[in-house]
DNA sequence: AAATACATTGTGTGCGAACACGCAAACTGT
DNA sequence: ACAGTTTGCGTGTTCGCACACAATGTATTT
């Protein structure tokens, strides 16, 4: 009778049990007195196996605590997985540069597993552009899709189509629960609003006015922003900080004159304004304005590590940036697809990434992180 | 002539170049008109190869941009790597629980690569205990070692020994550059002091007194603490905040009476004390003290997500905790060893982990993170 | 009783790299 | 000149898994 030598190889040394190598299909076959082919059939519900044998094999698999060797699996199957990433072009909004790099990093890391990521970029301000690229994605018939579904109405037909064709898709940045996606990767907007509230409250011990500024050229992300606002307001409510006055504005960067004018109006009419919470990644616009007006006492909290934001962060014009980890969103999004497709693991349908508080002093650690 | 079909398989679709699968040794052999064995010899400087062939193969390797398939490599070699982790027992100091879990997570993740991690725990307050466990590590003759070298003098002979025996070792938590370790994983203490300075300054816009509290039963970590203090002080210096008075104390928890008495003395003699920076993971002791004395206006900044700290963080008695990512230190430490031993990658000799600013509102994301 | 159908189980090959082995040609020395 | 050594290179097996294919066995039919 054949017995693998390794079974004996890694036994006790000085009473300390050394984990032996993992159980293989072969070991199970041996113990169950069947061939590896049969074990394989049981494991993958492939072909037919008699009740009796199946039950026995399953029992032994459980007993021996079998876990497949993922490397051997990936090596053997040698399949190429083609993934599509459908994201906005960062030429239109620099925010989208980070997810792109995360996706690219994931692509590099996973290349050895036969993963191939193709990007499809669309104009975040044009629904037609989105539809056009989404069609291309569909036509390319990928094995999985990662996308930032910022056009709710327009994306739904694609979801339906992908679901019918059984192509798994992972969302990031914007959460949509229709047609149950494989997974959503992103930030908890409400909670990040709370966090911003905490930071502002901490930096402003004496009550005063606080401005919430929504700066975006479109309202396509409105759901996000409103959740942030809600979280922010609730922080002050829950902590009974009713001496703080919260005011709010919606600004449009495309018209610089009106942008400035509106801010002028607010500053003038709110002498006790001490902090501004910018719900989008455009805090630098406020910082620039304050710099021009030589106003130094107003603190800014914003989002995302865009170069323009970092410029003002390093000048201490922006106090904190909340990092929504956009690079990580791209990175983990691809990883979720691969976990599902290649490694056949169960993937959580919701993955919130950390809300990092970034300031001048700890910035460097968040810049070139490995996407992890 | 034999040509692999895959070379032609993944070519252009609609003008988009699809990355083909990775180059294999076989492909190189084919192009260089030698056998795979020869390519292998060139790659590993194993056996002898004529100048001419060697140069040609090297050229083609570079040309084709060959990258070995790590999975195939690990699968084939089938070696068991035994790693030793030499860390303090968290029974003596709960701080060490997190690194332990990180090490364990890494062990689980890497088990499939034939990695086996054995822990050796020592009493962080006993040099003898450390020596004893370090000896056990040496005797077990591991393939690699991860350790928190908190006893400087005592660890040096072991470093020498391991270096002689060519056992790579990675340090975390405490940086020691003698006998050049493979890598150091940890935090930048100076920078974290700066960060604490920023936070306290932000929360205390009106000048006042600030207390630096070193709380530890031993001074074994003193180098750390001093660097933190230095960074902290330099924040105030560099920003010309000379209206802030920085005072300092060293407290000892083992004697509760004197601990309380010293704090009483400071509080009394410093009426404008507004913030306390605790350089160790024992901020909860200060929080408890302030709670007992019903003092609410003094803000605390501390380190590390110990359960006791979290208790006071959630009660808003501690404003912020700087997370030194102890779990990540363990996790990445093991990973460095594996990258070096198993995957034969180059590993950075210094890896600083992010200094996360943790508050009640973003705590949850740092608690059950995957160690990444 | 032989032929056929179908249910069940076993065997063999390939994935990419590592490495042991082996064999021929080119040297070496006496 | 011939045995022995060194040099230079090719072959074959292994790792664990997936999957195609081959080979059993059992039941039903003619």
pLDDT over threshold 60, residue B14 = no
Q: Which residues of A spanning 64-123 put their CB closer than 7 angstroms to strand D? A: 66, 68-69, 72-73, 75-77
Given the DSSP bridges, would you call strands B169-172 and A81-88 parallel, antiparallel or unpaired? unpaired
Angle of CA points A260, A264, A268, to nearest 5°: 175
Q: Identify whether the C-beta of residue A317 lies closer than 8 Å to the C-beta of residue A286.
A: no
- State the pLDDT at residue B255: 84
Residues 66-95 of A with CB under 8 A from B: 67, 69-72, 74-75, 78, 80, 82
pLDDT in tens, B46-86: 888 999 999 999 999 999 999 898 888 888 877 888 999 99
Q: Identify whether the C-beta of residue A102 lies closer than 8 Å to the C-beta of residue A330.
A: yes
**Chain D positions under 7 Å from a protein CB?**
7-12, 14-21
- State the pLDDT at residue A2: 37
Q: How would you classify residue A273: left for phi > 0, otherwise alpha for psi between -120 and 50, otherwise beta?
A: beta
Q: Identify whether the C-beta of residue B13 lies closer than 8 Å to the C-beta of residue B23.
A: no
pLDDT over threshold 50, residue A270 = yes
Q: Identify whether the C-beta of residue B283 lies closer than 8 Å to the C-beta of residue B218.
A: no
Query: How close, in Å, is residue B86 to chain A by CA atoms?
Result: 16
pLDDT over threshold 50, residue B94 = yes
CA–CA dist A152, A164 (Å, integer): 19
Query: How close, in Å, is residue A255 to chain B by CA atoms?
Result: 33
Q: What dihedral do alpha carbons B57, B62, B66, B68 form, nearest 10°?
A: 80
| Mean pLDDT, rounded, for B233-255 | 92
pLDDT over threshold 50, residue A39 = yes
Q: Which residue is closest to C8 in terms of CA–C1' distance?
A: A49
For chain B, give the mean pLDDT: 88
Proportion of chain A above pLDDT 90, given as a percent:
68
Q: What dihedral do alpha carbons A337, A340, A341, A344 form, nearest 10°?
A: 160
CA–CA dist A272, B54 (Å, integer): 75
Query: How close, in Å, is residue A51 to chain B by CA atoms?
Result: 31
DSSP string, A16-30: BPPPPPPP-HHHHHH
DSSP B16: B
CA–CA dist A208, A244 (Å, integer): 5
pLDDT in tens, B101-146: 999 999 988 887 888 899 999 999 999 999 999 999 999 999 999 9
- State the pLDDT at residue B345: 81
Query: Which chain B residues are within 8 Å of A21, Cβ to Cβ?
Result: 78, 80, 114
Q: Identify whether the C-beta of residue A183 lies closer than 8 Å to the C-beta of residue A348.
A: yes
Element (H, E) at A302: strand A299-303
- State the pLDDT at residue A11: 36
pLDDT in tens, A83-103: 999 999 999 988 899 999 999
> Closest Cα partner for B327 from B157, B90, B12, B16?
B90
C1' of C10 to CA of A350 (Å): 44
**Partner-chain residue, chosen from B118, B353, B361, that has the shortest CB–CB distance to A195:** B361
DSSP string, B17-33: PPPPPPP-HHHHHHHHT
């Amino acid at each position: 009778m054949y017995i693998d030598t390794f079974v004996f190889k890694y036994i006790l040394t000085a009473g300390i049990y050394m984990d032996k190598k993992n159980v293989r299909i072969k070991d199970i076959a041996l113990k169950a007195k069947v061939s590896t082919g049969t074990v394989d059939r049981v494991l993958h519900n492939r072909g037919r196996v008699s009740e009796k044998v199946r039950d026995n094999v399953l029992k032994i698999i459980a007993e021996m605590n079998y876990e497949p060797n993922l490397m051997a699996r990936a090596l053997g199957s040698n399949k190429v997985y083609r993934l599509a990433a459908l994201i906005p072009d960062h030429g239109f909004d620099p925010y989208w540069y980070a997810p792109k790099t995360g996706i690219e990093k994931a692509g590099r890391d996973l290349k050895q597993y036969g993963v191939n990521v193709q990007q499809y970029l669309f104009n975040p301000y044009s629904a037609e552009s989105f539809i056009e690229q989404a069609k291309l994605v569909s036509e390319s018939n990928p094995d999985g899709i990662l996308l930032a579904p910022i056009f709710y109405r327009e994306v739904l037909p694609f979801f339906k189509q992908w679901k019918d064709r059984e192509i798994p898709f992972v969302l990031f940045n914007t959460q949509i629960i229709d047609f149950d996606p494989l997974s959503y990767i992103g930030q908890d907007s409400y909670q990040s609003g709370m966090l911003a509230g905490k930071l502002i409250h901490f930096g402003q011990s004496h009550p005063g006015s606080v401005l919430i500024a929504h700066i975006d050229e479109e309202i396509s992300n409105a759901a996000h922003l409103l959740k942030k606002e809600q979280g922010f307001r609730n922080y002050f409510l829950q902590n009974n900080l009713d001496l703080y006055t919260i005011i709010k504005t919606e600004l449009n960067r495309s018209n610089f004159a009106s942008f400035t004018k509106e801010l002028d109006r607010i500053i003038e009419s709110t002498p006790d304004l001490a902090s501004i919470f910018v719900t989008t990644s455009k805090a630098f616009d406020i910082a620039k304005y304050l710099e021009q007006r030589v106003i130094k006492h107003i603190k800014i909290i914003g989002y995302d590590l865009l170069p323009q934001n970092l410029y003002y962060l390093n000048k201490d014009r922006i106090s904190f940036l909340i990092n929504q980890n956009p690079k990580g969103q791209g990175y983990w999004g691809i990883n979720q697809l691969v976990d599902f497709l290649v490694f056949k693991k169960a993937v959580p349908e919701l993955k919130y990434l950390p809300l990092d508080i970034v300031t001048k002093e700890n910035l460097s650690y968040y810049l070139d992180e490995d996407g992890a």
